[in-house]
Amino acid sequence: MGYVFDFKDAGSYDAWFDKARNKYCLDLEIKLMLDLLSPEKGQRILDIGCGTGISLELLLDRGLILTGVEPSLYMLDLASKRLGNQVDLHRGTAESLPFDDNTFDCAILFTSLEFTERPAKAIEEACRVAKDNVVICVLNRYAPLNVLRRLKSFFMPDIYTQVHFFSIWELKQIVFAILGNVPVKWKTTLQFPFVYGRIAGFFENMNIVQKSCFGTLIGMRIKPVPKFRTRPLMLKVKERRVYNPTTGLATRMRQ
């Protein structure tokens, strides 16, 4: 299951975005996710590890059928207050999703894979329930800001102590091990995490800049192989007697 947010974590998570700098970072991260997701009206979208519903909130007015799954009751409670009855919320883990194969068009793992105990299993489950796209957004191991976060959490334990930071190559290796050589597209954002504003945002949104391997957040889109559950068919068999003139005997044949 991995790390599950408690009551204190849930409150701190939402409060973190009240600061202007953090809100600026979230806007860039959400934009990257939406660029990779490219949602279309009527699609069924699953947010795995939906937390307090921040990543789902911006999808509400797009004519989508939204579902969220989250292991923390405290996070789900805040998500329910934020989203109301516009999103179908479930309690569950990323490694064992309570949905049938191909239930959704797309699945999202937005800064939630880092907290799973078995990330490969979580990706496998996402690809099982989503038939078109899986979008993964994770914290980059090699980004300057995340290097500082890791160093700080080593001396002063915080939420980042629980995080597994990924690299682009590690994510690709997991995906290819599960699915084979499927189409994968990736970008990063927050190349300049220590400055923010209109000018910084302009450069952050340039395609050539987002191909850097050192952005704070990695966004990766996967085209999963659709799963089709099969079952044996019952065939009706009739027997008839056939006369064999050579032997002079009648034998039974099935048809």
Q: Which amino acid is at 252?
A: R
Evaluate whether residue 232 is within a structural domain. Answer: no
Give the pLDDT confidence score for residue 18 in this predicted structure. Answer: 82
Give the pLDDT confidence score for residue 2 in this predicted structure. Answer: 82
Count of domains in the chain? Answer: 1
Domain range for 48 is 7-226
Evaluate whether residue 249 is within a structural domain. Answer: no
Buried b (16+ CB within 10 A) or exposed e, 13-32: beeeeeeeeeebbbbbbbbb
Give the pLDDT confidence score for residue 215 in this predicted structure. Answer: 96
pLDDT band at 185 (very low <50, low <70, confident <90, very high): very high
- What's the CATH code of the domain at 190? 3.40.50.150
Give the Å distances, CA to CA, from 241 to 164, 165, 246, 249.
Answer: 70, 71, 15, 10
Average pLDDT over residues 238-251: 62
In contact, 171 and 218? CB cutoff 8 Å: yes
Evaluate whether residue 162 is within a structural domain. Answer: yes
Q: What is the token pair recorded at 166? A: 């990924």
Evaluate whether residue 55 is within a structural domain. Answer: yes
pLDDT at 112 over 90: yes
Evaluate whether residue 48 is within a structural domain. Answer: yes
Give the pLDDT confidence score for residue 20 in this predicted structure. Answer: 86
Evaluate whether residue 244 is within a structural domain. Answer: no
Give the pLDDT confidence score for residue 14 in this predicted structure. Answer: 82
Give the pLDDT confidence score for residue 239 in this predicted structure. Answer: 64
Give the pLDDT confidence score for residue 7 in this predicted structure. Answer: 87
2-56 pLDDT, tens digit per residue, is 899 988 888 888 888 888 888 999 999 999 999 999 999 999 999 999 999 999 9
Give the pLDDT confidence score for residue 234 in this predicted structure. Answer: 67
Least confident of 146-155, 199-208, 224-233: 224-233
pLDDT at 232 over 90: no
Percentage, residues of the chain above pLDDT 70: 88
Evaluate whether residue 112 is within a structural domain. Answer: yes
Give the pLDDT confidence score for residue 135 in this predicted structure. Answer: 98
**Rounded distance, CA 92 to CA 97, Å?**
6
**Rounded distance, CA 106 to CA 104, Å?**
6
pLDDT band at 1 (very low <50, low <70, confident <90, very high): low
